[in-house]
Amino acid sequence: MDAAAAKLIGAGLATIALAGVGVGIGQIFGSFVSGALRNPAAAPKVFGNVLLGFALTEAVALYALVIAMLLLFVF
């Protein structure tokens, strides 16, 4: 296999990380909604934490993007 093809395959493989991130973001908002339905009064208090968790999880997806970009454009 030549290097260019391996590079493209590697960049594609890097996006597998999105599976975990999808599970994570779904988990965060799913838990928030089910918690908020049980106790609506507490929902506004934890929403900041929800957004923080979302941003931290989303960042993992972007690490994968950075790796894909490094593979495609740097090597």
Partner 1 sequence: MEHHNPLEQFAIQRIVPLHIGGIDVSITNSTVFMVLAIALITLFLTLAMRSGSLVPTRWQSMAELSYEFIGNMIRENVGNEGRRYFPFIFSLFMFVLFCNLLGLIPYSFTVTSHIIVTFALAAVVFIGVTIIGFIRNGAGFLRLFVPSGVPIFLLPLIIVIEFLSYLTRPISLSVRLFANMMAGHTVLAVFGGFVVALGILAGWMPLAFIVAMIGLELIIAILQAYVFAILTCIYLNDAFHVHH
Ramachandran area for residue 2 (φ above 0: left; ψ -120 to 50: alpha; else beta): beta
The count of residues in the chain is 75
Residue among 6, 9, 18, 66 that touches partner 1 (CB under 8 A): 66
Rule CB under 8 A: say whether 58 interacts with partner 1: yes
Site map for partner 1, 8-47, x if CB under 8 A?
Answer: ----------------------------------------
75: helix, coil or strand?
Answer: coil
Find out whether 17 and 60 touch, Cβ atoms under 8 Å. yes
Residue among 6, 8, 23, 51 that touches partner 1 (CB under 8 A): 51
